[in-house]
C-alpha cells in the first residue's frame, strides 16, 4: 500500500479539518462502495483456485479417487469433497 502525505493531495482546508480529529498518524481511507476488488481478484489468485477446482472435478469424473486428489493437490479429505460436490457455477 502506498502512503501519501495528505498535504500533497488534499486541499489545506480539508487537512485542517481532519487535524481536528487525528494528527501525526496514518489514516486509512477506504474505497467507495462498489469499487473494492474481491479477495484474490487483484493478484489472480481467485482465478487460479477456480481453475484448480475445475481440474479436480474433471479428474474425479475421470476416475481419480479422493485420496489420489488429496495427494496431488495437498488438500484434506473434506476440502476435496467440498470441491467435488460444489456446483460448477459456485467455484
Q: What is the pLDDT of residue 15?
A: 92
CA atoms within 13 A on the CB side of 66: 10
List, as own/partner pairs, every contact residues 77-82 make where C-beta atoms lie below 8 angstroms and the sequence separation is at least 24, other chains included. Answer: 80/56
Q: What is the pLDDT of residue 89?
A: 57
In this predicted structure, the answer to whether residue 71 has a pLDDT above a threshold of 60 is yes
pLDDT mean over 78-88:
90
Q: Which tops the pLDDT comparison, 68 or 86?
A: 68
Grid cell in block for residue 72:
496431488
Q: Which tops the pLDDT comparison, 81 or 42?
A: 81
Query: How far apart (Å, rounded) are the C-alpha atoms in residues 72 and 69?
Result: 5
In this predicted structure, the answer to whether residue 18 has a pLDDT above a threshold of 70 is yes
Q: Which tops the pLDDT comparison, 4 or 67?
A: 67
Q: Where residue 45 falls among pLDDT bands split at 50, 70, 90?
A: confident
In this predicted structure, the answer to whether residue 29 has a pLDDT above a threshold of 90 is no
pLDDT mean over 53-81:
97
Amino acid at each position: 500500500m502506498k502512503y501519501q502525505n495528505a498535504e500533497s493531495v488534499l486541499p489545506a482546508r480539508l487537512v485542517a479539518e481532519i487535524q481536528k480529529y487525528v494528527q501525526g498518524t496514518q489514516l486509512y481511507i477506504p474505497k467507495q462502495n462498489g469499487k473494492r476488488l474481491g479477495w484474490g481478484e487483484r493478484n489472480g489468485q481467485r482465478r487460479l483456485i477456480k481453475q484448480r477446482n475445475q481440474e479436480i472435478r474433471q479428474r474425479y469424473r475421470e476416475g481419480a479417487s479422493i485420496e489420489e486428489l488429496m495427494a496431488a493437490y495437498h488438500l484434506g479429505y473434506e476440502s476435496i469433497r467440498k470441491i467435488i460436490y460444489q456446483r460448477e457455477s459456485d467455484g
